[in-house]
Amino acid sequence: MIKSTLIQKVVELDGETLNRRQIERIAYEGVEVKISNHAMERVRASRKRIEKQLKDGRVIYGVNTGFGKLSDVEIPEDDIAQLQLNLIRADVVGVGEPFSKQIVRAMMVLRANALAKGFSGIKEDTLQLLVDMINREVHPVVPCKGSVGASGDLAPLAHIAIVLLGEGRAEYNGEVLPGGEALKRAGLEPVTLQAKEGLALINGTQAMTANGVIGLNEAERLGLAADMAASLTMEALQGIITAFDNELLAVRPHKELEFVASRIRGWLDGSKRITSQGQIRMQDAYSIRCIPQVHGASWQSLQYVEDRLNVEMNSATDNPIILENGEVISGGHFHGQPIALAMDFMKVGAAEWANISERRIERLINPQLSGLSPFLAKDPGLETGLMVAQYAAAALVSENKVLAHPASVDSIPTSANQEDHVSMGTIGSRQVREIIHNSARVIAIEMICASQAIYLEQVENQLAPATRTYLKKIREICPPLDGDRDISVEMEALAQYLLRDDTLVEELV
């Protein structure tokens, strides 16, 4: 996992070194970007290659031919620029609610970085306009639905590309405007596309990758929050720490299992609420005893996803590719399958944190399992306590199970069967963020229940220093209950805090 990088005022895009922390800062904090000098030299060289190919009379897919099933239709030289304009206009077919401006910014920087590799034939001024739009916060309105994940994220990227032409819609200074007006207010001018440029702007996996990158950052925080919630629950229920023993974990040496156990042991160091095997009972239930195994496996899924995204965010995902030797080759780098499978894996990993958390919630509120006041109410019967908070957790976990079905196992042929296998990776990338946000709500409910149990038992002074410090943060958002009250807003606020707070990220092993 990537730890927080030094604060940068400007992120330099070279097509090779972009990381997910930088993308998040560009997306959420408005950090500016620029193309490195070396990368811009590659961009110019790539443009010269495509122009030479045209001058030599070569027939090149998407440059002087139609697209998809129409690839055998040759386009006259006088119509080449119109072909690129037509392509963008024809692909602006997205539907549904728009992506957040943070996701759109992530898409834009990812596409700029891919173009900076110098294999796409984009003109320098076209790429610079894309960068300027990021820096001046001109955010195209991009509907979230309509991509099958091959040939790339055509519709979402077309909604970005059309704003470069002075068309479409974009948000600027909080106002949604016609694309040309948004550019004008930002002091920018639209470009006129030339050969290959339309295809270069939209043939890529940047919508699914943007969701994946932002989702992975959120999932990392979610995993740490799950580990902290589990630690607090163990203190509330006097959990057995013996199952987290380092020598025990070493006989099944999955490093992520050991990391979870080590992290929780560290957070619980100094606690007077934690017990040893046989001290009160011989074993805890699986939802507590198997925290390293279950949480650790979810962390393993994130490592796989990170490996895939690190490659993808610094890849050329265009078609055709213009090689350095001047050869132009049609391939399949636009196909989203590597990211689609990773998104489906992350969906399962994130959902499992909520699955096991909901079972710990049950152990906290069920008096037959906890020995505590029923549903953690101060006056059970007159008060319902946190009974129905568990209902909410159960509903969220059940919804996650539906969303966790792999999107990548489906494929519907497109373009008259020319594009006869697609990834559906963008669907999976949207679903994974839904699951992450649902799971954060479940983890928040567990934290609230653990906080309430500790409050009712009046054992705050017996907690470990680390968990006692974190408990204060929880209670700043959701104070303990002295009677039934509406906690819906507090639950949601805590969930969103968990997905944006980097306090625990700095402690990653």
**Residue found by looking up tokens 């944006």 in the block:** 500
Longest dimension (CA), the chain: 86
Counting Cβ atoms within 10 Å, is residue 143 exposed (0-12), middle (13-18) or buried (19+)? middle
What is the DSSP track for 424-462? -HHHHHHHHHHHHHHHHHHHHHHHHHHHHHHHHHT-GGG
Q: How far is CA 18 from its chain centroid?
A: 15
Catalytic site residue from 61, 172, 455, 497: 61
- 61 included as an active-site residue: yes
Residue 478 contacts residue 490 (beta carbons within 8 Å): yes
CA atoms of 216 and 219, how far apart (whole Å): 5
Residue 117 contacts residue 230 (beta carbons within 8 Å): no
CA atoms of 252 and 292, how far apart (whole Å): 11
CA atoms of 446 and 160, how far apart (whole Å): 40
Closest CA to 131 of 199, 204, 31: 31
Residue 332, Cβ neighbours under 10 Å: how many? 11
The SS3 of residue 118 is coil
Residue 244 contacts residue 264 (beta carbons within 8 Å): yes
Q: Show which residues are catalytic.
A: 61
